[in-house]
């Protein structure tokens, strides 16, 4: 993985899988770069993670919905969100035709 978060971005293809690159792994901590281009969580699927997650959108935009909220939160470049362990959430959409680059920090609570 290159040292620049915007280097080696995958080709934009909403039919492809999102790309997940580990940047750092330590006991109780993981930092990951995620690149999306039109992907979303499968219908009816909710993330329910044992670890906490803090995520920031570096470029592009996305809609993230928490299970206890009626509407998705729109995240644009610079917006961040803390998801405590077992905070059920899903990605409603990511901007098509643009690389939505996320930085996610996962921690053991």
- Segment 60-101, tens digit of pLDDT: 999 999 999 999 999 999 999 999 999 999 999 999 999 999
Is 44 domain-assigned?
Answer: yes
By residue range, what is the domain housing residue 96?
A: 19-107
Q: Kindly state whether residue 55 falls inside one of the protein's structural domains.
A: yes
- Give a yes or no: residue 8 inside a domain: no
What does pTM read for this prediction? 0.91
Predicted confidence (pLDDT) at residue 24 exceeds the cutoff of 90: yes
Q: What would the mean pLDDT of 50-67 be, rounded to a whole number?
A: 98
Average pLDDT taken over every residue of the chain: 94
Report yes or no on 7 lying in a domain.
no
pLDDT level of residue 2 (50, 70, 90 thresholds): low
Beta-carbon contacts of residue 66 (< 8 Å; ≥ 6 apart): 73, 83, 87, 88, 89
How far from 28 is each of 18, 21, 25, 31, 48, CA to CA, in Å? Answer: 24, 17, 8, 11, 17
């Amino acid at each position: 993985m290159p040292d620049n978060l915007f280097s080696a971005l995958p080709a934009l293809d909403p039919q492809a899988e999102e790309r997940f690159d580990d940047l750092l792994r330590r006991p109780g901590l993981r930092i990951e770069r995620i690149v999306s281009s039109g992907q979303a969580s499968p219908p009816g699927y909710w993330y329910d993670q044992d670890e906490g997650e803090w995520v920031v959108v570096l470029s592009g935009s996305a809609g993230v919905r928490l299970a206890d909220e009626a509407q998705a939160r729109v995240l644009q470049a610079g917006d961040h969100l803390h998801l405590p362990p077992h905070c059920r959430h899903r990605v409603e959409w990511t901007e098509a035709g643009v690389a939505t680059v996320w930085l996610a920090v996962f921690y053991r609570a």
